[in-house]
Homo-oligomer: A and B are copies of this chain.
Amino acid sequence: MKKSSLYKGCLEPILLRLLKDNGRMYGYQMTQMVKEITKGELNITEGALYPLLHKLEEQGIVETETEMNGNRMRKYYSLTKAGKKQTAVAMDEMKAFMQSLEFIVNPKAIIG
């Protein structure tokens, strides 16, 4: 098993958390921030990131603004009103998920 396979399925809540905390971010920035926060544990690949961001935009969860930084394009993403509601739900689900997996890292938790 690849270590990275653990993150499968968690990318969406990760992105929602970033946008919730930082308001407005562009894709590359998200990859760098996650790398920093997780101390290199998680490196989001572009092939996973961009298609997901596009899906979230289609679903009306995020909206975009494209800006030029010198000659380079940046596409900024931010949560819509609906996206903020969805994020709250996702955070609750994530919390429940983490708690239900506690027994793996701390098996004694199920005894006491």
Q: Contact residue range for chain A?
A: 20 to 34
Is A103 located at the chain interface by the 8 A CB criterion? Answer: yes
> Separation in Å of the A12 CB from the closest CB of chain B?
5
- Could you tell me the distance between the alpha carbons of A43 and B39 in the complex, rounded to whole angstroms? 32
Say whether, besides A1-B90, A41-B96, A110-B37, A104 and B14 are in contact (CB < 8 Å).
Answer: yes
**Chain A residues in contact with chain B, CB under 8 A?**
1, 3, 5-10, 12-14, 17, 21, 37-39, 41-42, 90-91, 93-98, 100-105, 107, 110
9 new A-B contacts at CB < 8 Å, known A38-B103, A42-B100: A1-B13, A3-B93, A6-B10, A8-B9, A38-B101, A39-B100, A41-B96, A41-B100, A91-B104
